[in-house]
Amino acid sequence: MSQFFLLMENIIELNKVTKKFGGITALNKASLHVKKGEVVGLIGDNGAGKSTLIKTLVGVYSPDEGDIIIRGKEVNSWNALKAREAGIETVFQDRALTPQQSIVKNIFMGKELRYPFGFIKEKKQINEANRLIREIGFTSKLINAESAVGNLSGGERQGVAIARAIYNNAELIVLDEPTNNLSLNETQKVFDFVLNVKKSNRSVLFIGHNIYHVYDISDRFVILDRGEVVHELNKENVSSPEELMKIMRQTIISH
Ligand SMILES: Nc1ncnc2c1ncn2[C@@H]1O[C@H](COP(=O)(O)OP(=O)(O)OP(=O)(O)O)[C@@H](O)[C@H]1O
Ligand SMILES: [Mg+2]
């Protein structure tokens, strides 16, 4: 497979997906794709359908209409298990980590490495966890695989969740408002983690309310309004977060 083809490959594609809740159309023929190694920022006002789109993508909801295509192949009866098997992992802020446990326990929870008789390969897990957290960008000498998650900052906890997603063979990591409630410093840490995920040729889909954060981190922006994808732009065509904000406002007003 040529390098060019690898760069162009879509990990996932939602094609004209519609999702209704009773009388509410949360998604209306929305299409979205994520390529290998790219960071996509999903933006739009409150109630635009961002969370519904994400939940459909990760298999929490099945669409009423439309197709889901994984690496070029259409899938039927899409669900959360199939999404995980396809290498799609979601990182929800703070939830799903056990703070009183160590980083290594959190990364391997439920998927421990074991000897044939069932004992856990503790040393191997620690080595692997240390390798993972360094790979995604933990630099502090004070933190290692055996540190308790409860002592970590908000940004670092996101890092542990991302490390776990990578251990689970994630090809696409979906981040649900990862910088909400984080300080500037912590936000920067999460950005560094995301850039390292991208460097390893994995993809990230990022939902954010803060246009500055979305701008900094994304290669491409997708604007959602009232359940419809109304605009898509590459970063090189938008000169600043202010311009992105302006384009978003204008697109929504004229939609
Ligand atoms: N489970 C549900 N049952 C009924 N209506 C829902 C449900 N989930 C979402 N909706 C409706 O669908 C629309 C889109 O909601 P969604 O949560 O996807 O928006 P959002 O873009 O994530 O908004 P926010 O930025 O506020 O998180 C809204 O009108 C919402 O009220
Ligand atoms: Mg939402």
Rounded to an integer, the average pLDDT of 9-35 is 96
Ligand 1 atom with the shortest distance to the CA of 52? 18
Q: Which residues line ligand 1 (CB under 6 A)?
A: 21, 24, 26, 44, 46-52
166: left (phi over 0), alpha (psi -120 to 50) or beta: alpha
- 63 three-class SS: coil
Ligand 1 atom with the shortest distance to the CA of 22? 4
Provide the pairing of β-strand 172-176 with 88-92: parallel
pLDDT digits (tens, 9 = 90+) for 213-237: 899 999 999 999 999 999 999 999 9
Fold of 1-87+203-255: Rossmann fold (3.40.50)
- What are the sequence ranges of the domains in the chain? 1-87+203-255
pLDDT digits (tens, 9 = 90+) for 27-72: 999 999 999 999 999 999 999 999 999 999 999 999 999 999 999 9
Q: What is the spatial distance between Cα 145 and Cα 159, in angstroms, rounded to a whole number?
A: 12
Query: What phi and psi values does residue 122 have, to the nearest 5 degrees?
Result: -60, -50
Q: What is the spatial distance between Cα 89 and Cα 84, in angstroms, rounded to a whole number?
A: 6
Please state, rounded to an integer, the average pLDDT across all residues of the chain: 91
- 33 three-class SS: strand
Rounded to an integer, the average pLDDT of 125-135 is 95
Cα 224 to ligand 2 centre (Å): 11
